[in-house]
A and B are shown apart, each in its own frame.
Chain A
Amino acid sequence: MKASPAVDVRHGQMPGGITPEENKAQSLRTPIRQAPVPPQLLIPVTQPAWMEPELLVEPGQAVLKGQLIARSRQPGGIAVHASSSGIITKIGQHGVPNVSGLPETCVHLDTDGRDQWLDHKGNMDFASLQPADLLHLIAASGISGLGGAGFPAHVKLLHTPGAIHTLIINACECEPFISADEALMRERAGDIMAGIGILLQILRPRHCLIGIEDNKPQALAALAAVLDDERIEICRVPGRYPSGAERQLIALLTGEEIATGILPVERGILCQNVGTAHAIKRAICHGEPLISRVTTITGAALSDPGNFEIRIGTPIHNLLNLCGLNRQALSRLIMGGPLMGTELAGDELPLIKTSNCIIATTEAELPCPPPAQPCIRCGLCADVCPVRLLPQQLYWFARSREHHRATAHNLFDCIECGACAWVCPSSIPLVQYYRAAKGEIRAEQDLHARAEQARQRYESHQQRQAEEQARQEQRRRERAALAGGKARSGDAAQNKIQAALERVKARKTARPNEDKQ
Chain B
Amino acid sequence: MTMAALSSPHGRQGQTTGRIMLEVILACVPGLAALTWFFGWGTLINIVWLALLALGLEAAVVKLRGRDIRFFLSDNSALVTAILLGLALPPTSPWWLGLTGIAFAIVIAKHLYGGLGYNPFNPAMVAYVVLLLSFPVEMTTWVLPRGATDQLPGFVTSLLMIFPFADPAPAVDAFTGATALDQFKLQRGGMLVSEFRQQNSLFGRWSGLGWEWVNLAFLGGGLYLLYRRIISWHIPLAILGSLLLLSALFYDGGSSASHGSPLLHLLGGATMLGAFFIATDPVTAATTVRGKLIYGVLIGVLIYMIRSKGNYPDGVAFAVLLGNFAAPLIDYLSRPRTFGHPE
Q: Residues of A at under 8 Å CB distance from B?
A: 15, 18, 20, 101, 247-248, 251, 257-260, 262, 317, 332-334, 336, 338-348, 359, 361, 366-369, 371, 373-380, 382-383, 386-390, 392-393, 409-410, 413, 416, 418, 421-427, 429, 431-432, 435
Contacts and interface: CB of A to CB of B under 8 A. Distances in A.
Contacts of B6: 332, 343, 368-369
B338 A423 contact: no
Given A347-B1, A382-B288, A393-B331, A388 B9 contact: no
| Chain B interface helix/strand/loop/mixed | loop
Cβ-closest 9 pairs across A and B: A259-B340, A418-B9, A374-B117, A387-B339, A257-B340, A366-B11, A432-B7, A378-B282, A343-B5
A377 B282 contact: yes
Interface stretch (B16-24, B35-43, B210-218): B16-24
A376 B282 contact: yes
A367 B11 contact: yes
B337 to A, nearest CB: 6
B169 to A, nearest CB: 42
Nearest to A408: B335
Contacts of A260: 340
B61 to A, nearest CB: 14
Contacts of A334: 10
B73 to A, nearest CB: 11
Given A260-B340, A374-B117, A388-B339, 17 more contacts: A247-B340, A339-B9, A339-B10, A343-B5, A343-B10, A348-B1, A376-B20, A376-B283, A377-B283, A379-B232, A379-B282, A382-B288, A390-B288, A418-B8, A418-B9, A423-B12, A425-B16
Nearest to B340: A259
B282 A427 contact: no
B199 interface: no
A18 B13 contact: yes
A368 to B, nearest CB: 7
A375 B117 contact: yes
A216 to B, nearest CB: 21
Interface string B110-132: 00000111100000000000000
Given A257-B340, A390-B335, A376 B116 contact: yes
B92 interface: no
Interface of B: 1-13, 15-20, 71, 75, 77, 115-118, 232, 282-283, 285, 287-289, 331, 335-341
Contacts of A348: 1
Contacts of A339: 8-11
Nearest to B10: A338
B10 A15 contact: no
A373 B18 CA distance: 9
A413 B338 contact: yes
Nearest to A383: B232
B283 to A, nearest CB: 5
B117 A371 contact: no
A341 B15 contact: no
Contacts of B20: 376, 378, 425
A285 to B, nearest CB: 36
10 contacts: A339-B9, A339-B11, A343-B4, A343-B6, A345-B5, A374-B17, A376-B77, A379-B232, A382-B289, A429-B7
A374 B287 contact: no
A173 to B, nearest CB: 17
B128 to A, nearest CB: 20
Contacts of A410: 338, 341
A259 B287 contact: no
B3 A343 contact: yes
Nearest to B284: A377
A343 B8 contact: yes
A373 B75 CA distance: 8
A422 B117 contact: no
A389 B118 CA distance: 21
B160 to A, nearest CB: 38
Contacts of A367: 11
B338 A388 contact: yes
Contacts of A374: 17, 75, 115-118
Nearest to A432: B7
A381 to B, nearest CB: 9
Contacts of A338: 8-11
**Which of B10, B12, B288: most chain A CB closer than 10 A?**
B10
A426 B14 CA distance: 10
A443 to B, nearest CB: 18
B71 A371 contact: yes
